[in-house]
C-alpha cells in the first residue's frame, strides 16, 4: 500500500515549533507521526 508523498523532519533538539498557536494532540511512540491542533481548531494529523 502506498500513502503518497510526505516529508521527514530530523530534529536537532527536542523542541518542535508550530507555525501557529496550538498544541500537540498526539505523539506516536514510534515517532513516525504527530497530531497538531491550532487555536482556530485546524487539525494536522
pLDDT tens digits along 1-45: 676 787 777 878 888 777 788 888 888 888 778 888 888 877 766
Give pLDDT, residue 13. 87
Gap between the Cα atoms of 14 and 5, Å rounded: 25
Distant-in-sequence contacts of 4-8, Cβ < 8 A, 24+ apart: none
Give the structural domain span for 21: 1-45
pTM higher than 0.85:
no
Nearest to 24 by CA among 38, 35, 33, 12: 35
Number of independent structural domains in the chain: 1
Give pLDDT, residue 45. 62
Amino acid at each position: 500500500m502506498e500513502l503518497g508523498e510526505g516529508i521527514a523532519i530530523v530534529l536537532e533538539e527536542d523542541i518542535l515549533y508550530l507555525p501557529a498557536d496550538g498544541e500537540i494532540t498526539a505523539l506516536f511512540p514510534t515517532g513516525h507521526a504527530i497530531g497538531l491542533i491550532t487555536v482556530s481548531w485546524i487539525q494536522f494529523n
